[in-house]
Amino acid sequence: MASETLLIVGGGIIGHMIAWKACMSDASLNVTIIERDLPGAGASAHAAGLHFPLSRTKDGRELSLASQNFYMSALREDPSLPISPLALRIHCPMAANATLMEAMTDGANLKIDPDGMKVAGALGSDLPVWTAYGANRADVHRLIIAIRHALKGRLCVIDGLNVQDIEERQDSVVVKTRDEYCLSGDRLVLAPGPWALDEPFLPYVEELGIRIKRVVAFHVDEAEAPRNTVDLFFEVDAFLMPRFDGRTLFSFTRLEWDVSPDNLARGVSAADREEAEAVIAKVAPGLSGKLLGGQVFCDAYSQDRVPIAKTVGESGRIAFAGAGNGSGYRLAPAIADKALGAIGLMS
């Protein structure tokens, strides 16, 4: 019997994770990634690359814990992967303590930080501080390259092709690109990231309720030595984290919706800075006025803030994997499992 072929549209962290998981589960499977640009050049290139062990939904907690376990297992097997465990502090009012405890994944070991007053005071805050186990950071672009190297000889990657059309057939799926290149496979996973609403994908995603939101993170001028801990501000969905280059990143929830990755105004805008300053003044006023430059892109968001990994179309041969809500790296392993399972490639 001829080996089956899996096509993956999208060469970001979710697309590469799907390829990694597919190759791990079936040594005979032929896997091809079709990427519109260079590897990880979209949302993954601008990602914070942070994993933390919590979610406000039960499904999100399950995805988070499964992904955390996968990353830690992969790191034990290959310590050269660009993934580093991080200490985690969570800033949260006592009034929201019950909500925070419910949001934590199993094994996170949430407890009050005995140095919390000192930590909060250094940020100009009086919020109570907890510690938890399970955070990590990744250089997402380097991780994508590492996956490609690990799958050398197994994974075919075709960069620089834009999908023009997708055709479902009784026994296959055909992907046609704008330059009239044609690929045929037995199964297809769509992992286009913030390009989810592009015309070729609309017949498969228009009922999923996906929207595209601007994502912004600022670099912060911290006078102290480079930090080694994540400070997560639970109520406002923001965090301060160390980057591999020694800088501090401040990520917050930017409230600009229905943008396009192809028409996005690049670079930090006055509105970006205004929203960021309002958030940091609330949770870490000691850093007000210390936002420097930043990184700007966008991502696909689901209605319930749980990533989507399910069959789409009519044949049962196509799955959509995405709407990661800005957490593509954090949840990629679990998203990949669900997407592959949906089209019968993982039990």
Task: Provide the pLDDT for residue 261.
Answer: 94
Determine the Cα–Cα distance for residues 287 and 293; give it in Å rounded to an integer. Answer: 14
Q: Which residue has tokens 């390259």? A: 145
At residue 224, what are phi and psi to the nearest 5 degrees?
-70, 175
Domains of the chain, earliest start first: 1-49+139-209+304-347 (3.50.50.60), 86-134+211-301 (3.30.9.10)
Span 288-293, average pLDDT? 94
- Antiparallel, parallel or unpaired: β 248-251 and 211-220: antiparallel
Task: Provide the pLDDT for residue 1.
Answer: 46
Residue 46's SS3 state is: helix
Determine the Cα–Cα distance for residues 284 and 128; give it in Å rounded to an integer. Answer: 12
Determine the Cα–Cα distance for residues 212 and 256; give it in Å rounded to an integer. Answer: 9
Residue 86's SS3 state is: strand
Strand 308-312: give its sheet, edge to edge. 155-159, 30-35, 5-9, 187-190, 318-322, 308-312
Span 215-231, average pLDDT? 84
- Antiparallel, parallel or unpaired: β 248-251 and 291-301: unpaired
Span 131-144, average pLDDT? 96
Beta carbons of 123 and 285 less than 8 angstroms apart? yes
**Quick one: tokens of 19?**
């390829």
Beta carbons of 186 and 6 less than 8 angstroms apart? yes
Beta carbons of 15 and 191 less than 8 angstroms apart? yes
DSSP secondary structure, 316-336, as one string: S-EEEEE--TT-HHHHHHHHH
Closest CA to 252 of 210, 295, 303: 295
Q: Is the pLDDT of residue 347 over 60?
A: no
Q: Is the dihedral of CA 223, 235, 62, 261 positive or negative?
A: negative
What band does 243 get if pLDDT is binned at 50, 70 and 90? Answer: confident
Determine the Cα–Cα distance for residues 65 and 331; give it in Å rounded to an integer. Answer: 9
DSSP one-letter code for 96: G
Q: Is the pLDDT of residue 244 over 60?
A: yes
pLDDT digits (tens, 9 = 90+) for 34-90: 999 988 788 888 899 999 999 999 999 999 999 999 999 999 999 999 999 999 999
CA distances from 102 to 56, 106, 108, 127, 284 (A): 8, 10, 11, 19, 24
Determine the Cα–Cα distance for residues 347 and 345; give it in Å rounded to an integer. Answer: 7
pTM value > 0.85: yes
DSSP one-letter code for 104: B
Span 14-29, average pLDDT? 96
Q: Is the pLDDT of residue 185 over 60?
A: yes
Q: Is the dihedral of CA 185, 191, 192, 197 positive or negative?
A: positive
**Quick one: tokens of 36?**
């519109």
pLDDT digits (tens, 9 = 90+) for 96-134: 999 999 999 999 999 999 999 999 999 999 999 999 999
Task: Provide the pLDDT for residue 346.
Answer: 77
Beta carbons of 193 and 40 less than 8 angstroms apart? no
Q: Is the pLDDT of residue 276 over 80?
A: yes
**Quick one: tokens of 155?**
């994974």
